[in-house]
Structure 1
Amino acid sequence: MVKYIMKSLQCTEEVTSPTYALVNEYEIPKGKVYHMDLYRIKDEDELLNMGIEEYWESADYNFIEWPDIAQDFFAEGQYATQTETLERHKGGNKLSIGIPKEIYEDENRIALTPNSIRAIIGHGHKVIVESGAGEKSHYTDYNYSEAGAQVTESRKEVYSCDVIVKIAPPTMEELSFFKPNQVLLSSLLLPRMNEPYMRALKSRKIIAIAMEYLPGEDGTYPVVRIMSEIAGMSAIYTAGELLSAGDGGRGVLLGGISGVPPAKIVILGAGVVGEFATKTALAMGASVRIFDNDVSKLMRLQSIVGRHLHTSTFNPVYLAYQLLSADVLIAAVHSKSGRVPILVTEEMVSKMKPGSVIMDISMDQGGCVETSEITSHRNPTFIKHDVIHYGVPNIPSKVPRTASAAISNILTPMVLRMADQGSIESLLYDNKNIRLGVYSYKGCITNKYLANRFGLGYQDINLLLASKM
């Protein structure tokens, strides 16, 4: 231990044991150091004879081994060793984080809210927000400025930051602002990906992380789950609005009233979207039917809700029968591999009641209703066979403030961990879950599906990090 202390005191001499010499003396820039070993001292007289008092009364450093024999010479605790465990700080790098304005028409959310900005600024980092970035989520430039962010009109200045955090992936124009080894944290949105876009990512050598592919400690995907919760709840609220006579609906109240039966809602899919759609519909007093081919999901849903539910597997005949009297169809089927199957044919739709509503939440995977088409928040519906169709793929953007706060709560800890680790490379090396979200790394495509789909070379992110690339 003394050797390490002497090194920190900038001692250039060789440090040896004073067992036989009793006292070793060293020169340091700030004076002298006396290193004593009292193991061979038998009594206090020997201490006085060796001049112990002169050493202790000097203004120099005194390091004593085996001090028990001299305990009567100083006050209790005066020369006692105090052991303290210090926190090891891995990084301490100060990051600059850029938040650009979303330019896609249907994207109303923002990745980091003012409350999260306060936390990031409080850790000593710099945040630059493009003017107007939070307007669609009802966060003003003033809110961000008060939180400590720098608000700028210059998009180029925002994209000069170390880390770019946004909801939608950048456009080809926005990619031109990126520099090598810059970190992009955004959603991936597979339907918008194409070969020129992926080649642009490669050529810019961007480290791109898809937020929806970041798993939590429990194996679930927190961004996907929280957006699915919002989509399930919003689907029921929106369907209730569309059923009103003012929107061309049947003029039916979801929950009904005393003496009048409630609306009947058919839900396809018992995943997270289906779960929250079911909870919301039941809370509003609607009559619900749930379909899913995974019986364990149906059992789980009944257990969560805590009551008996009308459930079934995807039997086409029984599904068609239920749709004949349905007021609302919520299509919330998800596929792990590509497009979702068509479960509701055009013939089934044509036999539904006039003014009924179809909410196809599977539109980002092609839709599971044959008559569905992609719509936007500006023009969310169209009518076919006298049935109102809603095909907006980005339903959470309908409630952007809630959705933004939810995403921000998930991303903020990751941004702070990135700084604490010292670099994005260290963060990826130490965190397997975050590595799973990386699809482009310094000129390499690290997502096997994207590499195969566009005929680009695939590189394993684990090997790249191990090679210190």
Structure 2
Amino acid sequence: MNQPSSPFSKQQLLPQEEKLEVLRQKGELFIGIPKESQYQEKRICLTPDAVSAITAHGHRVLIESGAGEGASFSDLDYTQAGAEITRDTKKIFGCPIILKVEPPTLAEIDLINPQSTLISALQIKTQQKEYFETLAKKRITAIAFEYIRDEDGSYPAVRSLSEIAGISSVLIASEIMAASEGNGLMFGSISGVPPVEVVILGAGTVGEFAARSALGLGANVKIFDNSITKLRKIQSHLGRPLYTSTLQPKNLSKALRRCDVAIGAVRGKDRAPVLVSSQMVENMKKGAVIIDVSIDMGGCFETSELTSHKKPTYQKYGVIHYAVPNIPARYPKTASISISNIFTPYLLKIGEDGGLENSLRYDKGLRNGLYMYHGILSNHTVGEWFGMKSSDINFLIF
């Protein structure tokens, strides 16, 4: 007797893998922005416009009263943008996501709830081992915004602040020269008057934007760097031929003797290399100005000593030195808008992806900024620097 034919094939009757649809669910973010406690730090991570965009997507933003005042943003500006304002610092640090410009102090970390997320600068040169140990105890996930990478492999926060530092260095030099202590020269192409001579050490982002500003003000610019590629790139970006040289002592000494302004914008791995000796500074014109932008990494002039925004200059060998480490903080509104432009898309993306965990899986650039994952140190550089054990983030997340 014939068996009735089955409506299913033999293959279909075998146990199959279950296919589940995995959806990225949107997550509601609750972001806390404390008032910066660091001396002379007036910047804030999000502008009212950024807060407006974030709250429009259903997220909550809690801001400490007066946090935006240094950057000329009032509490009213933020409440109108949809933020909540509080005077309670504990409440701010109790938010699941904390957004800061400067890294938190140990006292501030104590206020953070376990398993929270911290997004701020890391400033590895100013940190101590205890900072990471305290974050680890609280199992905090921490991201350093200066390590976040863009799709093209660049560091958007570092580039943005370097652009500000480059332009500022020229504006500050022109102010110092015009002041009573300066030599009374003015940047600008005045008919019949020789232009101001500017020497720039370093052809990176700071050097490029310093050169752009100096040229725009009519100065004569000479750029020194040991990378021919960088020198070639800077000429192409500025769209004009200008004096470029490798760091040969003879050429550099000659240029420094004749210059009115010298800008140091060279960075090293652990410390900025000292390119200008005391002897070279002694041979410079009296009343010439040195702006050492590299001072946060030790400075590239031998005569550089750390100064502050309150007392930014001092004289050595008759040469005026400006060596403030945090130049962008001099222009807190511009710097805040710039930082905010970087943060906002990332925060919206984290919300779209359903939280930071998912974003870290999908976004390699954001993952690059991660240095602490649920209390586990995940940045190899930090681990080496402080003699701590670090784990590969790719093994922790996937």
Please name the residue that 2:228 is paired with. Answer: 295
Letter in 2 for 1:186: S
What amino acid does structure 1 have at the position aligned with 2:310? R
Which amino acid in 1 is paired with 2:272?
Answer: V
Instruction: Return structure 1 stretches of 4+ with deviation > 2 angstroms.
Output: none
Which residue is 1:341 aligned to?
273
Q: Distance in 2 between matches of 1:311 and 1:401?
A: 34
Q: Structure 1 vs Structure 2: percent identity of aligned residues? A: 47
Match of 2:67 in 1: 133
Letter in 1 for 2:145: M
Shift of 1:453: 2.0
2:72 pairs with 1:100: no
Alignment of 1:255 with 2:188, yes or no, is yes
Task: Kindly indicate whether residue 345 of structure 2 is the aligned counterpart of residue 413 of structure 1.
Answer: yes
Does residue 1:399 correspond to 2:331, yes or no? yes
Residues 443-462 of structure 1 aligned to structure 2 (within 5 Å): 443-462=375-394
Paired residue for 2:262?
A: 329
The offset of 1:451, in angstroms, is 1.2
How far 1:89 sits from its partner (Å)?
A: 5.9
**1:245 offset after TM fit, Å?**
3.6
Which string of whole-angstrom CA distances, capped at 9 and with x for unpartnered residues, describes residues 333-357 of structure 1? 122x211111000111111111111
- 2:313 paired residue among 374, 381, 389: 381
Note the C-alpha offset of 1:256.
4.5
Q: Which amino acid aligns with 2:273?
A: P
The 2-side partners of 1:424 and 1:186 are apart by 15
Give the distance between the partners of 1:93 and 1:304, measured in 2 at CA.
41
Instruction: Report if the CA contact (8 A) 1:98-1:161 is conserved.
Output: yes
Distance 1:354 1:102 in 2: 39
Q: Tell me the CA shift for residue 223 of structure 1.
A: 0.7
Unmatched runs of 5 consecutive residues or more in structure 1: 1-16, 18-87
- SS of 2:337's equivalent? helix
Q: Which residue number in structure 1 is paired with residue 57 of structure 2?
A: 123
1-side partners of 2:151 and 2:40: how far apart? 31
Q: 2: distance between equivalents of 1:179 and 1:160?
A: 6
- The total of aligned residue pairs comes to 379
| d(CA) in 2 for partners of 1:122, 1:461 | 32
1:362 aligns with 294
Matched, 1:180 2:114: yes
Q: CA deviation at 1:315?
A: 0.5
2:15 equivalent in structure 1: none
CA deviation profile, 1:11-49 (whole Å, cap 9, x unmatched)? xxxxxx9xxxxxxxxxxxxxxxxxxxxxxxxxxxxxxxx
In structure 2, distance between residues paired with 1:385 and 1:205? 52
The secondary structure found in structure 2 opposite 1:176 is helix
Structure 2 contact 178–185 (Cα < 8 Å) conserved: yes
1:77 is aligned to none
TM-superposition CA deviations, 1:413-454 (whole Å, max 9, x none) = 111111121121111111111111111111111111211222
Superposition deviation, residue 377 in structure 1: 1.1
Q: What is the SS of the residue equivalent to 1:362?
A: helix
Q: How far apart, in 1, do the equivalents of 2:179 and 2:365 lie? A: 48
Deviation at 1:330, TM superposition (A): 0.5
2:118–2:142 CA contact under 8 A, matched in 1: yes
TM-score normalised over the length of structure 2: 0.93
Distance 1:381 1:447 in 2: 37
Task: Give the conservation status (yes or no) of the 8 Å contact 1:360–1:372.
Answer: yes
Letter in 1 for 2:387: G
Q: Pairwise CA RMSD of aligned residues?
A: 1.4
Contact 2:115 2:140 in 1 (8 A): yes
Match of 1:163 among 97, 100, 104: 97
SS at match of 2:111: coil
Secondary structure of 1:285's match? coil
Measure, in 1, the Cα distance between the counterparts of 2:193 and 2:23: 66
Q: Distance in 2 between matches of 1:212 and 1:265?
A: 29
Equivalent pair of 2:28/2:351 in contact (CA under 8 Å): yes
Return 5+ residue gaps in structure 2 as ranges.
Answer: 1-6, 8-21
For 1:38, the equivalent position in structure 2 comes to none
1:262 Cα deviation after fit: 1.4
Is 1:235 the equivalent of 2:169? Answer: yes
Per the alignment, residue 253 of structure 2 pairs with 320
Q: Is the 2:65–2:85 contact (alpha carbons within 8 Å) kept by the matching residues of 1?
A: yes
In the aligned structure 1, how far is the partner of 2:279 from the partner of 2:288?
15
Match of 1:306 among 221, 227, 239: 239
Given the alignment, which residue of 296, 299, 304 partners 1:372? 304
Residue 145, structure 1, aligned to residue 145, structure 2? no
Partner of 1:278: 211
Q: Is the 8 A contact 1:106 1:394 kept in 2?
A: no
CA distance in 2, matches of 1:119, 1:302: 38
SS at match of 2:346: helix
- Partner Cα separation in structure 2 for residue 225 and residue 205 of structure 1: 30
1:204 maps to what in 2?
138
Contact kept, 8 Å, 2:96 with 2:113, in 1: the verdict is no
On the 8 A contact 1:179/1:205 being kept in 2, the answer is: no
Higher relative contact order (CA 8 A, sep 6+): 2
CA 1:412–1:274 in 2, change beyond 3 Å: closer, same or farther?
A: same
The amino acid of 1:267's aligned partner reads: I
Q: Secondary structure at the match of 1:236?
A: helix
* C-alpha distance after superposition, 1:210-235 (max 9, x if no partner): 10111101111111111111111111
Q: TM-score, normalised by structure 1?
A: 0.79
Inter-partner Cα distance in structure 2 for 1:434 and 1:305: 31
